[in-house]
Amino acid sequence: MLTIRKSITAVSFGMALFGLVSTVGYAAGLKVCTEAHYKGTCEELGADVSNLGKIKGPCNGSWNDCISSIDVAEGVSVKVCNDADFKGECSVLKDDAMDLSTVKGPCNGTWNDCVSSIDIQ
Ligand SMILES: [Ca+2]
């Protein structure tokens, strides 16, 4: 797993969330969090993850079926899948993933606590 550093030069010129903090762009990646609105425990991912179950995280020791929000850099899309190795049902998300419980998906109707692999596009 690659971890990217926040780049202070990559501050997003998009909407500042709640007017408090400007969204930091993740140059080639994204940030995943255990709670909606980029709260809870978060981790930056700089590369595709074919199996979140192998990434150390807060849900039974991994990030599998754990993600509730995904902060995506401007211009970056991510494909999320509900099984490892980009299998099962997949959806492409743009910058509207601040609350996966509102995004239609295969786990009780949403993508909340559902993502098992994630492909940065
Ligand atoms: Ca899953």
Look up the domain containing 46 and give its range.
Answer: 26-120
Tell how far the Cα of 60 is from the centroid of ligand 1, in angstroms.
13
Domain assignment of residue 11, yes or no: no
The pLDDT tens digits of the residues spanning 62-80 come to 999 999 999 887 778 889 9
CB within 8 A of 38, min separation 6: which ones?
17, 31, 69, 71, 98
- Residue 112 structure tokens: 């909340």
- The pTM for the full model equals 0.75
Domain assignment of residue 2, yes or no: no
Tell how far the Cα of 110 is from the centroid of ligand 1, in angstroms.
11
Domain assignment of residue 85, yes or no: yes
Domain assignment of residue 5, yes or no: no
Domain assignment of residue 21, yes or no: no
d(CA 16, CA 59): 29
Domain assignment of residue 61, yes or no: yes
Domain assignment of residue 45, yes or no: yes
Tell how far the Cα of 28 is from the centroid of ligand 1, in angstroms.
24
Residues surrounding ion ligand 1 at CB below 5 Å: 65, 82, 116
Indicate if the pLDDT at residue 110 is higher than 60: yes
Tell how far the Cα of 8 is from the centroid of ligand 1, in angstroms.
33
The pLDDT tens digits of the residues spanning 14-42 come to 333 333 333 444 455 689 999 999 999 99
Structural domain total, the chain: 1
Domain assignment of residue 4, yes or no: no
- Closest CA relative to residue 76, chosen from 119, 41, 18, 13: 119
Which CATH number does the domain housing residue 52 bear?
Answer: 2.60.20.10
CA angle 66, 30, 49 (to 5 degrees): 60
